Amino acid sequence: MVNNNNLIRTNKIIFSKEKRQLAMQLPSLPIFKHWNEKGKPLPKHRIDFDSKIFKRVNKIAEKLLRKYSLENIKKSIDVYYELVNNPNVNLNKSIPGHIVGLNDFFEFTNFTKQRIQRSKVKLDIKSWFYECLKGKGLLEKKYGEVEPDYFPLITKEFIRLWWEYSGMRRRKLSIKEVNKFRITSQIYVRWWYKNKKNLNLVLLSKIEFVKYVFEAILLDIGKQEWAGLVSIGWLCSKKTFSDRLTIYLMRKGILEKNKNKENYVVS
């Protein structure tokens, strides 16, 4: 049997005498303790009977305890903690809904839901509690899956130029963003070999030529529009290579017109 008196004492939760007895009777107290023992980057939660956050979490936790065992709930918390601390899984604190407190773990608040909807990086899950019930192995594969980097030097150049042209502050890239850069380098290399014989700048290497992809996008949308419009996904889009880059290079006299339009198209 769980000794809630010990949980209160060891978890350094301080109550008035009137509320201590009530706290000891909470079925959800072991859940709060288990969460608080995990440490960073998960925020700790203090049991405060006057707090709207505590009341909400406690209500949801007690509802879940009627359906799931305490051990299953603890296991879900364990999986989430391991997931956010796994270096091969890119869950970013700056992205809404990725690293959350207990108040969002069981069920996203309306505020967090709105932030997720406005974010460019979508998080299509019911909650981390239900997601983590699926098990560690499945989630590591889902959130840590990385596209093979066949052309690392070219990928590196695309990433370098992305920060330079976008004007954005450098930050840690998500797994999905890294994948998009790696896919871009693959598309770019296919485009290069397909059109190399029609290029006038034969002295430029594949890496040096990467800048023209960004120049083509810049010509199409303008510098002022970049930050609010262009996403990393543009780099690996068919339109960028088949339309934007082709038109730009032809205007500059770098790419000779070819009767076979399929040469400009990449899949």
pLDDT given at position 151: 95
Sign for the CA dihedral angle at 73, 81, 5, 61 comes to negative
pLDDT greater at residue 206 or residue 120: 206
| Euclidean distance between CA atoms 116 and 207, whole angstroms | 36
Tell me the CB-side half-sphere exposure of residue 58, using CA atoms within 13 A.
17
| Euclidean distance between CA atoms 66 and 71, whole angstroms | 13
Q: Across residues 43-68, what is the average pLDDT?
A: 87
Question: How confident is the model over 7-50, as pLDDT tens digits?
Answer: 444 444 444 555 666 666 788 889 988 999 998 899 988 777 77
Surface-to-core class of residue 185, CB atoms within 10 Å of its CB (0-12 exposed, 13-18 middle, 19+ buried) = buried
Whether 65 shows a pLDDT value over 90: the answer reads yes
Q: Across residues 145-153, what is the average pLDDT?
A: 86
pLDDT given at position 22: 65
pLDDT greater at residue 21 or residue 178: 178
pLDDT given at position 264: 43
Backbone angles phi, psi at 183, to 5 degrees: -65, -40
| Euclidean distance between CA atoms 141 and 134, whole angstroms | 12
pLDDT greater at residue 7 or residue 182: 182
What confidence tier does 226 reach under pLDDT thresholds 50, 70, 90?
A: confident
Whether 57 shows a pLDDT value over 60: the answer reads yes
pLDDT given at position 17: 54
Question: How far, CA to CA in Å, does 34 sit from each of 64, 71, 130, 222, 228?
Answer: 15, 10, 17, 52, 42
pTM of the shown model: 0.55
What confidence tier does 173 reach under pLDDT thresholds 50, 70, 90?
A: confident
| Euclidean distance between CA atoms 61 and 32, whole angstroms | 9
| Euclidean distance between CA atoms 210 and 185, whole angstroms | 9
Backbone angles phi, psi at 199, to 5 degrees: -90, 140
Among 11-25, 129-143, 197-211, 226-240, top mean pLDDT goes to 129-143
Residue 199's beta-bridge partner residues? 255
Number of residues in the chain: 267
